[in-house]
């Protein structure tokens, strides 16, 4: 292998890597890169050019949002919500239809993605696998990898040659965007993912290859489940990362477990920062599952508060939330066993890119770690007893500044009770006894002895969300649970002037100590102006949580601003007396700006702001979907159909670790058809009385069989976990099979996707298509031909890529494409009743004329009785945007991504409907709807 020779140099290479990235030990080892920045680290955090940074990162999958414009939209939303990093898996199969063939253009243009991330102000954690998992078909491996001899995720030669090819292509792009020497914002690079075999040679090869490809940022691994695998020793990258999903993936669950103390990792991690390669931010949901709103509830604001605050306490200064935006498994991207078309994930941002209620807590936490730099370097002082043992107070201190942080929650983090404790705050400013309430599952991070801009915060029982120096004054935003009391003490050299501008706040001045104490109850927004205090005045904003979340903190070249009011504020630009804000509003909303004093004019989306308010969106409407055209489309079932140009399926051997029960081998991947539907036509001459078939489809798959044009049955693979294959045995009606003639068996099999390979057991190779075929009552041979997607080297639809289409006749004939003429088809209206099993196509067109300056995510809704047995592949303007399964669900609304859907103009929708029988098939009602409506300014 090309890099085998490098193996000998691995030790030397690792040394270079350690030097350029600061090495496992803290210190000034960083070599200055001539064009770029340095990344170093110690036990507390990463440092970029020597500055500590808390990476608050959002997992994002570009391949699940097929429109670069929307990448910018979503990345801007992350940034606005306080994320300073985005973690990207790269899906190998999304880019590679065949060995040696790679595409990084259009919706696959990751160079553009990395540029956008940098422009938006996000660091990037690059995770190109080669294996990623991610609920993807084959865990992200290209279809062509499924026929390799060597075991994947080992040092097997054929596997290594393949991933080296991928690495070379993708790393060339990633390397250009590294912060170290590429002029971009990539700060970390992940090797493999949850690798739980012990093949250190493989890991060393990956590391050496990454370095060989010019990757100079620190390398890390995402160890499944905090086992300290690959933390040190042969195969270990520079840094140790791990993951956890404490709530699991059954979204029927209504509660979640207790939080965990992760300090046990310290001896293994040593003088390196704690890294969450992934921390649960939602969950996937399987065919027939409870639906994503349940996942969002399971991992909702209380979950976020408990677990992410606990992570802050545990010093996870690289903190990546999986997923923060999930997106859509469009095309044949999904692993069928765990997920359907939507990959919404119950994440903080839903599939249609809206902010859910989960953003509020995340934003508070993100703003906290960004504002309170002292948090990034803290040592444990340990627990401290208060008056109520039910409440645990954990103390940490920044050794440089002496600032202390009190992490307060119930000792039993599952406790639902409501308690109050008095505990001791001991800082340079003195010793205090604040009172803190913890109501149910809640967590608070309180600061004391802290230099808050130009103020001295002695302590507060409100949490800090943000503070800014606006030149003539400081502004601090503190928050707490609505209805709970708060106390904040600030230190001044002399008695300041205190004006309570709104809300009920009492102030007490202790001249002996120089303490100004404010008492209040969190509710709405209280404003206190503290001036004549010997330094910069302070505008103190005391908010309840909900109100706090209406604030946005933005950076401009002339310093930060705070903005309050609208649904989303994307960016701020300050030039002279003018502040230009860009953002979205779901309704007419108040707008309040906290900016430098010379700012006199405020623009919102390029229009001057009048009366302190921004306008809401115009209402929108949608045409009814009508004018449907219909055609049945199973010519392959007709015995007279000419299949002479199909591939002969006559192989008698396979590389697949699962050997076929009957010959020839009929595995679809072995014949180069990796995605979607595949047709088989078999011939036999003999007095057979029946036929038995086993098909590998993946969970919830389907197949149908015809003999001499007669439909014998349709079989659905079960939806219970672990189901992938299904068997059917059919007797031939009298006279169907003629002993001396060529009898024709036509079988259509849906490949729902390949399994993941999480266990490194080659599970992605579990075969798809027909696995076994045998006649009853005859030992005549079956001679087969097979037809599938025009993929691999023959991929025609390069734009939509290898996973867009399968091998339905209509897909091959262009029925799914907008340019196709369906004028000869029958006119029908929906709902429509089908009278024969098998595939039929429905097409119509519609015009949209949505306002250009509004973001209107559009959904396609199916309405029907789930007792009807059919499913539909949905093509919008030729793009396969998903699969609707009427008798399974749970998904009944499909997000149609803008970019694929023309918001101003003509659209074509084509559905390939597969009816299981002659009586319950057809197609129900379809309608378009607005899933949201916002004024916006996207760039
Ligand atoms: C992790 C894995 C991810 C994803 C996640 C569940 O174990 O690293 O790729 O599969 O689980 O969504």
Task: For 460-496, give the DSSP string.
Answer: ESSEEEEEEE-SS-EEEEEEE-TT-EEEEEEE-SSPP
pLDDT over threshold 50, residue 9: no
The answer to whether residues 540 and 516 touch, using CB atoms and an 8 Å cutoff, is no
The answer to whether residues 428 and 457 touch, using CB atoms and an 8 Å cutoff, is no
Atom 4 of ligand 1, nearest CA residue: 134
H-helix or E-strand spanning residue 368? helix 358-371
**Residue 21 and residue 28: Cα distance in Å, rounded?**
10
Predicted confidence (pLDDT) per residue in 541-583, tens digit: 999 999 999 999 999 999 999 999 999 999 999 999 999 999 9
Average pLDDT over residues 384-413: 98
* Residue 165 CB less than 6 A away from ligand 1: no
Predicted confidence (pLDDT) per residue in 675-688, tens digit: 999 999 999 998 89
Beta strands in 372-462 (DSSP E): 379-384, 391-397, 404-410, 418-422, 425-427, 430-432, 435-439, 443-452, 455-460
Q: What number does the ligand 1 atom closest to the CA of 277 have?
A: 8
The secondary structure of the chain in percent helix, strand, coil, rounded to multiples of 5, reads: 15, 35, 45
φ, ψ of residue 503 in degrees (nearest 5)? 85, 175
- The CA 213 to ligand 1 mean position distance, Å, reads 26
Alpha carbons within 13 A on the beta-carbon side of 158: 11
H-helix or E-strand spanning residue 678? strand 676-684
- The CA 133 to ligand 1 mean position distance, Å, reads 6
User: Radius of gyration (Cα) for the chain, nearest Å?
Assistant: 30
Q: What local confidence, expressed as pLDDT, does residue 939 receive?
A: 58
- Give the position of tokens 């196709």: 820
Average confidence score pLDDT of the chain: 95
Mutational pocket test of ligand 1: of 59, 60, 61, 133, the residue with most ligand atoms within 8 Å of the beta carbon = 133
Average pLDDT over residues 596-618: 96
For the chain, give the percent of residues with pLDDT over 70: 96
- Give the position of tokens 């079932």: 637
Predicted confidence (pLDDT) per residue in 211-261, tens digit: 999 999 999 999 999 999 999 999 999 999 999 999 999 999 988 999 999
- Give the position of tokens 């680290």: 41
pLDDT band at 608 (very low <50, low <70, confident <90, very high): very high
DSSP state of 308: H
**Residue 435 and residue 449: Cα distance in Å, rounded?**
17
Strand 538-544 versus strand 85-89 pairing type: unpaired
pLDDT over threshold 80, residue 27: no
Predicted confidence (pLDDT) per residue in 486-524, tens digit: 999 999 999 999 999 999 999 999 999 999 999 999 999
* Residue 193 CB less than 6 A away from ligand 1: yes
**Residue 132 and residue 134: Cα distance in Å, rounded?**
6
**Residue 826 and residue 609: Cα distance in Å, rounded?**
54
Helix (H, G, I), strand (E, B) or coil at 398: coil
The encoded tokens of residue 244 equal 């956890």
φ, ψ of residue 704 in degrees (nearest 5)? -130, 150
Higher pLDDT: 210 or 898? It is 210
The answer to whether residues 782 and 684 touch, using CB atoms and an 8 Å cutoff, is yes
Strand 186-190 versus strand 925-930 pairing type: unpaired
pLDDT over threshold 70, residue 35: no
pLDDT band at 636 (very low <50, low <70, confident <90, very high): very high
* Residue 194 CB less than 6 A away from ligand 1: yes
- Residues in the chain, total: 939
Strand 123-127 versus strand 186-190 pairing type: parallel
Q: What number does the ligand 1 atom closest to the CA of 284 have?
A: 12
**Residue 479 and residue 542: Cα distance in Å, rounded?**
6
The answer to whether residues 106 and 69 touch, using CB atoms and an 8 Å cutoff, is no
Q: Is the dihedral of CA 50, 316, 82, 395 positive or negative?
A: negative
The answer to whether residues 526 and 502 touch, using CB atoms and an 8 Å cutoff, is yes
Average pLDDT over residues 470-479: 98
**Residue 75 and residue 88: Cα distance in Å, rounded?**
11
**Residue 519 and residue 485: Cα distance in Å, rounded?**
7
pLDDT over threshold 80, residue 16: no
For the chain, give the percent of residues with pLDDT over 90: 94
Q: What Å distances lie between residue 448 and 306, 363, 584, 596, CA to CA?
A: 21, 22, 36, 27
The answer to whether residues 393 and 386 touch, using CB atoms and an 8 Å cutoff, is yes
Predicted confidence (pLDDT) per residue in 256-291, tens digit: 999 999 999 999 999 999 999 999 999 999 999 999
pLDDT over threshold 50, residue 26: no
Atom 10 of ligand 1, nearest CA residue: 134
Residues forming the active site: 194, 278
Average pLDDT over residues 606-611: 95
- The CA 263 to ligand 1 mean position distance, Å, reads 23
**Residue 216 and residue 218: Cα distance in Å, rounded?**
7
* Residue 891 CB less than 6 A away from ligand 1: no
Helix (H, G, I), strand (E, B) or coil at 242: strand
**Nearest by Cα to 775 from 697, 689, 867, 712:** 689
* Residue 279 CB less than 6 A away from ligand 1: no
Q: What number does the ligand 1 atom closest to the CA of 193 have?
A: 8
Of the ranges 122-136, 700-714, 729-743, which one carries the lowest mean pLDDT score? Answer: 729-743
- Give the position of tokens 């039929």: 840
* Residue 309 CB less than 6 A away from ligand 1: no
In terms of DSSP H, where are the helices of 549-645?
A: none
The answer to whether residues 803 and 332 touch, using CB atoms and an 8 Å cutoff, is yes
**Residue 536 and residue 529: Cα distance in Å, rounded?**
11
- The CA 134 to ligand 1 mean position distance, Å, reads 5
**Nearest by Cα to 522 from 564, 465, 484:** 484
Beta strands in 7-112 (DSSP E): 39-41, 46-48, 51-53, 55-60, 85-89
- The CA 810 to ligand 1 mean position distance, Å, reads 35
**Residue 331 and residue 753: Cα distance in Å, rounded?**
10
The encoded tokens of residue 155 equal 């040092």
* Residue 243 CB less than 6 A away from ligand 1: yes
Average pLDDT over residues 394-403: 98
Mutational pocket test of ligand 1: of 322, 343, 764, the residue with most ligand atoms within 8 Å of the beta carbon = 322
**Residue 675 and residue 790: Cα distance in Å, rounded?**
10
Predicted confidence (pLDDT) per residue in 63-112, tens digit: 999 999 999 999 999 999 999 999 999 999 999 999 999 999 999 999 99
Atom 6 of ligand 1, nearest CA residue: 134
Of the ranges 24-38, 213-227, 530-544, which one carries the lowest mean pLDDT score? Answer: 24-38
């Amino acid at each position: 292998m090309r890099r085998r020779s490098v193996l000998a140099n691995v030790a030397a290479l690792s040394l270079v890597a350690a030097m350029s990235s600061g090495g496992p030990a803290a210190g000034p080892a960083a070599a200055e890169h001539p064009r770029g920045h340095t990344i170093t680290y110690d036990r507390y955090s990463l440092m970029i050019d020597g500055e500590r940074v808390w990476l608050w990162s959002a997992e994002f999958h570009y391949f699940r949002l097929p429109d670069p414009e929307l990448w910018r939209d979503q990345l801007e939303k992350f940034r606005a919500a306080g994320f300073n990093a985005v973690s990207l898996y790269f899906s190998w199969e999304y880019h590679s239809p065949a060995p040696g063939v790679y595409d990084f253009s259009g919706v696959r243009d990751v160079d553009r993605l990395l540029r956008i991330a940098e422009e938006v102000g996000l660091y990037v954690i690059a995770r190109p696998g080669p294996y990623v998992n991610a609920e993807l078909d084959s865990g992200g491996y290209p279809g062509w990898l499924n026929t390799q001899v060597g075991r994947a995720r080992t040092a097997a030669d054929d596997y290594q040659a393949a991933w080296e090819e991928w690495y070379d292509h993708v790393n060339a792009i990633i390397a250009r965007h590294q912060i170290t020497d590429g002029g971009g914002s990539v700060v970390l690079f992940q090797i493999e993912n949850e690798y739980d075999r012990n093949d250190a040679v493989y890991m060393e090869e990956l590391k050496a290859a990454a370095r060989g490809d010019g990757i100079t940022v620190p390398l890390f691994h995402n160890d499944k489940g905090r086992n300290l695998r690959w933390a040190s020793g042969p195969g270990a990258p520079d840094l140790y990362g791990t993951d956890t999903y404490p709530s699991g993936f059954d979204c029927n669950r209504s509660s979640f477990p207790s939080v965990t103390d992760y300090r046990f990792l310290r001896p293994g991690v040593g003088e390196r920062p704690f890294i969450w390669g992934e921390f649960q931010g939602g969950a996937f949901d399987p065919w027939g599952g409870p639906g994503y709103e349940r996942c969002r509830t399971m991992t909702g604001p209380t979950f976020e508060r408990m677990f992410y605050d606990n992570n802050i306490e545990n010093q996870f200064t690289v903190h990546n939330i999986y997923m923060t935006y999930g997106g859509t498994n469009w095309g044949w991207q999904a692993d069928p066993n765990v997920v359907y078309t939507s990959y919404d994930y119950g994440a903080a941002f839903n599939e249609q890119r809206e902010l859910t209620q989960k953003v509020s807590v995340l934003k508070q936490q993100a703003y906290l770690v960004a504002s309170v730099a002292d948090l990034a370097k803290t040592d444990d002082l340990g627990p401290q007893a208060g008056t109520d043992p039910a409440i645990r107070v954990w103390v940490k201190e920044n050794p440089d500044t002496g600032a202390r942080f009190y992490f307060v929650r119930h000792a039993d983090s599952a406790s639902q009770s409501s308690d109050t404790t008095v505990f001791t705050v001991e800082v340079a400013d003195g010793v205090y006894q604040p009172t803190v309430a913890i109501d149910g599952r809640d967590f608070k991070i309180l600061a004391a002895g802290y230099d808050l801009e130009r103020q001295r915060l002695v302590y507060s029982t409100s949490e800090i969300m943000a503070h800014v120096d606006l030149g003539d004054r400081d502004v601090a935003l503190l928050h707490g649970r609505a209805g709970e009391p708060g106390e904040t003490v600030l230190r001044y050299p002399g008695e300041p002037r205190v004006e309570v501008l709104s809300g009920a706040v009492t102030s007490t001045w202790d001249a002996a100590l120089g303490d100004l104490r404010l008492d209040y109850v969190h509710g709405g927004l209280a404003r206190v102006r503290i001036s004549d205090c010997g330094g910069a005045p302070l505008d103190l904003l005391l908010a309840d949580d909900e109100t706090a979340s209406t604030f946005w903190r933005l950076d401009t070249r002339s310093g930060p601003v705070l903005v309050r009011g609208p649904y989303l504020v994307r960016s701020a630009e300050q030039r002279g007396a003018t502040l230009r804000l860009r953002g979205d509003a779901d309704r007419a909303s108040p707008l309040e700006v906290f900016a430098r004093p010379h700012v006199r004019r405020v623009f919102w989306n390029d229009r001057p702001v009048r009366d302190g308010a921004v306008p809401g969106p115009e209402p929108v409407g949608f045409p009814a979907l009508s004018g449907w055209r219909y055609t049945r489309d199973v010519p392959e079932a007709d015995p007279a159909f000419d299949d002479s140009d199909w591939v002969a399926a006559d192989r008698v051997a396979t590389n697949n670790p699962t050997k076929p029960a009957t010959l020839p081998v009929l595995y679809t991947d072995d014949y180069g058809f990796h995605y979607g539907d595949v047709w088989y036509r078999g011939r036999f001459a003999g007095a057979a009385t029946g036929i038995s078939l086993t098909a590998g489809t993946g969970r919830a798959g389907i197949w149908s069989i015809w003999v001499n044009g007669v439909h014998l049955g349709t079989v659905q693979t079960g939806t219970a976990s672990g189901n992938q294959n299904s068997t059917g045995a059919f007797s031939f009606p009298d006279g169907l099979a003629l002993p001396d003639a060529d009898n024709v068996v036509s079988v259509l099999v849906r490949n729902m996707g390949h399994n993941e390979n999480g266990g490194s057991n080659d599970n992605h190779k579990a075969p798809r298509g027909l696995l076994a075929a045998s006649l009853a009552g005859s030992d005549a041979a079956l001679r087969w031909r097979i037809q599938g997607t025009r993929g691999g080297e023959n991929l025609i639809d390069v734009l939509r890529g290898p996973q867009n289409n399968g091998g339905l006749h209509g897909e091959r004939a262009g029925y799914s494409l907008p340019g196709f003429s369906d004028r000869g088809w029958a006119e029908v209206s929906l709902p429509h009743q089908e009278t024969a099993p098998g595939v039929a196509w429905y097409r119509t067109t519609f015009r949209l004329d949505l306002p250009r300056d509004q973001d209107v995510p559009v959904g396609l809704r199916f309405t029907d009785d789930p007792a009807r047995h059919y499913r539909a592949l949905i093509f919008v303007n030729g793009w396969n945007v998903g699969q609707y399964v009427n008798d399974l669900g749970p998904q009944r609304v499909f997000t149609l991504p803008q970019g694929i859907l023309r918001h101003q103009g003509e659209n074509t929708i084509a559905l390939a409907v597969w009816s299981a029988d002659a009586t319950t098939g057809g197609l129900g009602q379809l309608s378009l709807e607005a899933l949201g409506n916002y004024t916006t300014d996207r760039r």
